[in-house]
Structure 1
């Protein structure tokens, strides 16, 4: 009975191989049948028992363990050696590879950050160059003229003929405003330009101020100046001169120009005109004293005009001059204003390997009087350095031959060929060989 139960348990076991499933089922069935027969009949043939015994032992054997697919067999309880087929990396080798991979990632991150920074710098440089280019374009006279605004005091329009000025400004398309000024009867200018490095526009007040006066007002100013010169005291508070001096004290950088309208003389003969002297009651010496006081002490100039047409032409000329001022100031900022423009304004750059020395030698020859670029090029082409020319001078015996050494050299200028000549050849020799620095070359 126990054998039958054990066989039944083995039948439901899932550890058997599929290849022996059919044999096991037959064996278990045979055993069950023999057990039933044994229960029904107490007599059992010894022959049958003997024949079934080997089969029973075969069927009651424990199930086979399936062979592992791994090439490495499992380690026993007492085994310490690793699998020979499997290659394991050591901890040091793994850490080294991880460190190397981390270094590569850090290097890539650094490169990305450096490229991003470089890209941002290039972007900022491009924006800076763009703003600078826009600022430079705004400094051109034609663009600066559009940004100028002529500010006219309402008292100026009370003069007869002032409509001519408004018509001229409207026709030209220039901007002008009618607004009260700190000094009455004056005309001033403001300029709006975009400042480099800033997003907004700044308003700049020009230093020129034109004070429009008729002949009667100018006589009042002259009388006030003469009183100041005689008494060494300030003018009275109600005079025009007192208002002008108060304005100049508060605006020291302003330059005031008196525009006197109604005079039949020009500015050169106005002071010596008998009619003006008769109106003012002063002599030529007195008028010169007034001129000196206004120009030297107060930086005020005086101009006389016949009518408003002449005044308008003067104001238009001042406006155009103010539009050209920013570009001229920028051009004069780099160097002295009397330096010549063109290639002479900048020197020749000589590199470490010596590139540019021949151009320096050519420029030195051109500095001599009446030596043109073509002549200097012919000399430097035959003798690329001063040392070679001095060697050529040393190979000659007489001084006369040295003076005429460069005379037969051919010079091509404007499609014509000529020689250097004995005069230039002699001056070049004298420049290189004369020990007296005070000696003239011509």
Structure 2
């Protein structure tokens, strides 16, 4: 041993035996192995016996089985993944179907809403068409009492309605000889109009006037027709008065000639024209029933046709009046003859002021222009009256205003005058509304 290193040399062909004698001066191989601890097996090492082999074999089998199970688990997981994918696809398919059904429901809902909107629009257009002139008469039905057809004017009444293309029906009514109207509203039930015509022949009305029961009869009509506007139609009164006058003249001529034979008196109690007019005025003031005098079947048919047209056009005219009143703000607007339109900006006020001045008696357009050129509005005139020192000076404020009659070399002037000046002053300053403009 040199330097702490042991060198062993042996012949490969003749291995050293542990029992071989050591070289002289050197330790033997067995001693070296014993000193190094190589002669004994390691403390933790052991030899493989049959039992150890079996244990190793069991462990190997367990590892193999575990490995096989792991591989089987991996393969089973790999096989289960398509199953999860299939279930996800089914869920997606179900969601798509639900979305499709929801979209279908939404389309159906929108289609139903559109159809409803179109139906409402069509109904509104139909209702608007039902109120327009020319078309509205198609939606109004004239209801005639059956007793009207038994009178002499019944046939002419039907011809007048047929000639004007009005719908009509004949049926017993609550009030004999009455005419009423029903409006056929599109998409709704029929609606009864407020206007009612009640026809009374002259013999029947003569008895009521002579007995003083005409007002009581009118009140009974209003009670039988609550909430309705009743118009009393008197048929044949003028013919009676003409015949009455003829009989009086014949009797007078007979007396003048000295002949006792003359025209006989008329049947009935005898009512004068003045008494009839007084009775009808009393009925209108006491009960609110209007009246119309009709003398022939053709006139009665024309009257019913005129009332039918007025009843048919009533909603259209009321709607037009409402719209015009909204457009003209507070200004009164009329569509009759010689009316002045005033817009919201005040255009037309000066012309309206001149038109008002022309309403005074003997006031011409030149007179109105003369007053309007000095005082451009009623307020300016009232302020001028307020600045006057006395009542007389206010009354004569306008008398000296010049009025120019023409233009050019032929022009001439005159004054307003004291009479018209007093009338204008009294009109704008009088505290009593019943006072006269020109008191005597």
Query: TM-score by structure 2 length?
Result: 0.44
Query: TM-score by structure 1 length?
Result: 0.44
Structure number with bigger Rg: 2
